[in-house]
Chain A
Amino acid sequence: MSTTPNPAENTRTLVVERTFPHPQAKLWRALTEGPLLAQWMMKNDFEPVVGHKFQFRAEPMPNWNGIVDCEVIAVDPIQSLAYNWGVGGGESGLQWVVHFTLTPAEGGTHVRMEQSGFGPDQQQAYQGANYGWQKFFGGLERVIAELP
């Protein structure tokens, strides 16, 4: 498990990595079979089908309805999985993309989780603005490096 060392890089994209002492196919099952996914993430109606809209549901609490709204955007069996991740609901909420990459590693499987803002679809959805979150943060690296 590690995060990228550069603080500016950390700010642009969140990366959490870990090597699990289990085969890749088993990891894939844990990430893509709803009942298994529920055991380590949250209750869900996930299906590994591009375009499938689903929710992660936790117990509602004050200030959070317990729901994460998601849509599957990429499925590449046992290697790569990505979905949108929306909290706070609707237009006022926050949208992210969560991307899992699985690679065989010595003694197991390396899992890389990358969370970044605003997928390509959302960029296109806004007229007159070609500036995705990634690019935005890219341009800000210098500025953020100077933050206290």
Chain B
Amino acid sequence: MQFVQNFRLTNHNQTVMVSLVKQANANPVFRALADPTRRAIFEELSRQGEQTVHALTRYAGVSQPAVSKHLTVLKRAKLVRHRREGRESHYRAHPDALAPMVDWLNHYGAFWRDKFDQLEALLERMEP
């Protein structure tokens, strides 16, 4: 009985992990924000509102082509939106795209609560 119960819990945990990894692979949001420079750019746009590529380049302290590359990744993840005005591109944050990240943490919450259930069961089985 104990075995069956453990098996079920383990299976459930694996399902949680798979959905976490799937989400990670499927979702460009995580990829986009895995890079600290991109996080910094996104944070700056969230804080300051719309910015030109020039302003962002000054802020990020890396070359403009590098910033443009980062912005493309953020744009693909729908984390930023842009508009052209004359020769300048203006970018702004699109924080709704962060919602999958909130889901991610909810998933991990379920994972750890299951693990704590198993820890509790182990402590009962252990010698005092």
What A residues does B126 contact at CB under 8 A? 26, 29-30, 36
A-B contact count (CB 8 A): 135
Instruction: State whether B122 touches A88 (Cβ < 8 A).
Output: no
Instruction: State whether A36 touches B122 (Cβ < 8 A).
Output: yes
B127 to chain A minimum Cβ distance, whole angstroms, is 9
A58/B40 contact (C-beta < 8 A), A39-B122, A40-B122, A64-B21 known: no
Please, how many angstroms separate the alpha-carbon atoms of A115 and B113 in the complex?
13
Please, how many angstroms separate the alpha-carbon atoms of A95 and B39 in the complex?
14
**Chain B residue at minimum C-beta to C-beta distance from A135:** B43
Contact of A148 among B25, B96, B109 (CB under 8 A): B96
Please, how many angstroms separate the alpha-carbon atoms of A113 and B119 in the complex?
13
Using a CB–CB cutoff of 8 Å, the interface residues on chain A facing chain B are 1, 3, 7, 10-11, 14, 16, 18, 20, 22-23, 26-27, 29-30, 36, 39-41, 58-59, 61-64, 66, 87-88, 92-95, 111, 113, 115, 118, 123, 126, 128-133, 135-136, 139-140, 142-144, 146-148
Question: Can you pick out 11 interface pairs between chain A and chain B where the beta carbons lie within 8 Å of each other?
Answer: A23-B128, A26-B128, A58-B13, A61-B14, A64-B14, A113-B116, A128-B61, A128-B62, A129-B35, A131-B40, A140-B95
Using a CB–CB cutoff of 8 Å, the interface residues on chain B facing chain A are 10, 13-14, 17-18, 20-22, 24-25, 30-31, 33-37, 39-40, 42-43, 46-47, 60-62, 93, 95-96, 98-99, 101-102, 105, 108-109, 112-113, 115-116, 118-123, 125-126, 128
| 15 extra interface residue pairs, beta carbon distance < 8 Å, beyond A59-B14, A148-B96 | A1-B113, A14-B109, A18-B120, A20-B120, A20-B123, A30-B123, A64-B14, A66-B14, A94-B30, A129-B35, A129-B37, A136-B33, A140-B98, A143-B93, A146-B95
